[in-house]
Amino acid sequence: MTSSCRRLPHPVLLGPSAALVLLAAVGCTSTDPSASVTVPTPSSEAAAYCRALHKELPRSVAGLERTDPAPRSDLTAGWGDGAIVLRCGVARPAKMDDSQSKAAEADGVNWLLEQREDDGPRFTTTLRKAYVEVTLSAAYAHDATPLAAFAASVKKTVPSSL
């Protein structure tokens, strides 16, 4: 097996302005999950429940202060710079149709559990008129206790669909 390498006739050096552009681009790329969150686009009915929920969400969860992600929206919230992210009005997860799906219950609110490969779990409310999704960082890979912090707010603002 042969491989071919092509050498450039002259070394390639980046000029100062090209190097700055490259550094700026690298500096602007964030791996921080709180940097940007996709805002859901629910029905007007679900959006109204979500706006009400947003007003009732706790200031801290699991000892983490609230730090809402960008872009700011009544449909999203965060705690601990992305360690815990809530999105309200998400689409119904296809996993809810799987009879083998795992679930959790936290203070009277049922949640579908989805394990994510390279991160912590994602939970989505079930049996509610708007779907509320909570993603947890890998630090919570085996800990669903932060869900209890959302139970009272969800029960108060997002009616049961039963």
| pLDDT tens digit sequence for 99-126 | 999 999 999 999 999 998 888 999 999 9
Predicted confidence (pLDDT) at residue 20 exceeds the cutoff of 60? no
Q: What is the mean pLDDT of residues 81-94?
A: 96
Q: What is the mean pLDDT of residues 48-77?
A: 97
User: Which pLDDT score is estimated for 111?
Assistant: 97
Task: Give long-range contacts, CB 8 A cutoff, 24+ apart: 46-49.
Answer: 46/88, 46/89, 46/129, 46/130, 46/131, 47/74, 47/75, 47/89, 47/130, 49/88, 49/89, 49/129, 49/130, 49/157, 49/158, 49/159
Q: In this predicted structure, which of 9-23, 34-48, 91-105, 137-151 has the lowest mean pLDDT?
A: 9-23
User: Which pLDDT score is estimated for 55?
Assistant: 97
